[in-house]
Amino acid sequence: MVTKREVLQVIKPPFHYESLGQEIFDSENKLVLDVRGWGYFQYELNGEELQDTWGQMVTDILNKEFNK
């Protein structure tokens, strides 16, 4: 199994969320995650906001985990 240290040799925190493409990037602007869920969120009231909030939540979790 790959360690967190090995992961951090490839991707560099802190991470940031870009709502235009629903993507999460590292500090070197490398794409590390596509935020999915539109198939579900589109049927909810304020679906775009839900998806963006979800993307920001995932970003916050990544930053918290990798900044320990």
Q: Is the pLDDT of residue 29 over 90?
A: yes
Nearest residue to 38 via CA among 49, 29, 25: 49
Domain ranges of the chain: 16-52
pLDDT of residue 67: 83
CA 35 – CA 19 distance, rounded (Å): 9
End-to-end CA distance of the chain, in Å?
Answer: 20
Q: Summarize the confidence of residues 4-11 as an average pLDDT.
A: 90
33-55 tens-digit pLDDT: 999 888 889 999 999 999 999 99
Q: What is the pTM of this model?
A: 0.88
Q: Which segments of the chain does DSSP mark as H helices, in order?
A: 4-7, 38-41, 47-66
Other CB atoms closer than 10 Å to residue 26's CB: what's the count?
19
